[in-house]
């Protein structure tokens, strides 16, 4: 069975994905998921930041096994192509039977935003005295758009969405599409909640621009040699990792700054009463993406297609 991106879009919903990702993160932190480190190979197609990479991401969890093969080619922007493309294969754990092969680009997009929605839901009640109102976004690509859609499911109180991009026209276009405002880097960085979803190779979010009590959802700059957040922000913040081991291994923001990861998101979700999330100061929630998230989303797609469920909204 091959499932196209269009078919994935017709059945995968944030209503189902967000709680499923939440449980997957709890299971991962509890040791219930067999997930080896992501294997990454350089494509060698070009020099410098145009050099793409190819990654293989397997996981075994519950009744399923799966593997995602994903590519990232930053130079694709100039060609009018997606920078990330992927395929996910889902298999039965009981028999090893291949169940489905599906386009993984949208799965990657949605599960990344769903992780941020889960982190937001867990951290906001512990950190803010009242529900935050302003949302600053650094970046104007697919992750910026996906995060707006996902966070609306857990943050209906947001009243101000501020978008900055290195290409002003892109920020203005996205803002017009989603009812937001295109602003300067300084304005977006000063919001209550800040999303960094850029393809930057060097820091764009600077600590001096953040509010003293900001929550940062950091999802760009996956790779030990690249980053989008400066030392000031990293070293002055309480760092929550989607997975401590994955973030410490794959995040340039953490490795190159020398910042300490203070907490694991799955552990916070499992025992929220035991988490010592600061009420005062900044928090950065860093994610790099994990295979268990892709397998979880692929399972939802497979189950929805088997039951005949089709979504009617975005």
- Burial (0-12, 13-18, 19+ Cβ within 10 Å), 286: buried
Shared domain check, 231 and 103: no
Question: Do residues 221 and 232 both lie within one domain?
Answer: yes
- pLDDT tens for 23-56 read 999 999 999 999 999 999 988 888 877 888 899 9
Determine the structural domain holding residue 239 and report its residue range.
114-289
Same-domain pairing of 30 and 145: no
Residue 312 maps to a domain = no
Is the residue at 314 inside a domain? no
Residues contacting residue 255 through CB under 8 Å, at least 6 positions apart:
224, 248
Say if residue 24 is in the same domain as residue 71. Answer: yes
Asked if residue 216 is part of any domain, the answer here is yes
What CA–CA distance (Å, rounded) separates 191 from 215? Answer: 9
CATH code where residue 23 lies: 3.30.1780.10
Shared domain check, 103 and 152: no
Q: Name the residue with tokens 């907490």.
A: 263
Residue 28: the pLDDT is: 97
CA angle 173, 285, 145 (to 5 degrees): 20
Tens of pLDDT along 176-193? 999 999 999 999 999 999
Task: Provide the b/e sequence for 33-60 (b: ≥16 CB within 10 Å).
Answer: bebeebebeeeeeeeeeeebbebebbbb
Residue 311 confidence (pLDDT)? 60
One domain, residues 273 and 296: no
Residue burial 64-103, b: 16+ Cβ < 10 Å; e: rest: bbbbbbbbbbbebeeeeebbbbbbbbbbeeeeeeebbebb
pLDDT at position 314: 47
The per-residue pLDDT for range 223-269, each reduced to its tens digit, is: 888 899 999 999 999 999 999 999 999 999 999 999 999 999 999 99
């Amino acid at each position: 069975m091959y499932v196209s991106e269009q078919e994935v879009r017709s059945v995968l919903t944030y209503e189902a994905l967000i709680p499923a990702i939440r449980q997957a993160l709890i299971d991962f932190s509890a040791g219930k998921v067999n997930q080896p480190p992501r294997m990454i190979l350089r494509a060698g197609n070009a020099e410098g930041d145009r050099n793409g990479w190819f990654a293989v991401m397997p996981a075994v969890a519950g009744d399923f096994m799966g593997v995602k093969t994903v590519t990232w080619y930053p130079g694709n922007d100039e060609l009018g192509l997606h920078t990330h493309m992927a395929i996910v294969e889902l298999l039965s754990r009981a028999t090893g039977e291949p169940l489905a092969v599906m386009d993984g680009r949208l799965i990657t997009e949605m599960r990344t935003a769903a992780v941020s929605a889960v982190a937001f839901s867990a951290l906001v009640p512990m950190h803010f005295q009242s529900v935050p109102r302003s949302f600053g976004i650094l970046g104007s690509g697919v992750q910026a758009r996906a995060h707006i859609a996902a966070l609306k499911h857990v943050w209906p109180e947001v009243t101000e969405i501020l978008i900055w991009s290195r290409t002003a026209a892109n920020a203005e276009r996205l803002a017009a599409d989603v009812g937001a405002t295109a602003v300067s880097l300084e304005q977006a960085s000063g919001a209550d909640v800040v999303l960094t979803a850029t393809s930057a190779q060097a820091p764009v979010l600077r600590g001096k621009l953040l509010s003293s009590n900001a929550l940062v959802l950091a999802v760009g700059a996956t790779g030990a040699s690249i980053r989008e957040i400066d030392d000031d922000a990293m070293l002055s913040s309480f760092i929550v990792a989607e997975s401590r081991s994955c973030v410490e291994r794959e995040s340039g923001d953490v490795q190159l700054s020398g910042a300490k990861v203070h907490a694991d998101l799955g552990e916070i979700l499992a025992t929220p009463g035991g988490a010592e999330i600061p009420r005062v100061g900044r928090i950065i929630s860093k994610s790099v993406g994990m295979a268990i998230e892709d397998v979880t989303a692929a399972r939802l797609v497979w189950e929805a297609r088997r039951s005949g469920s089709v979504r009617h909204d975005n």
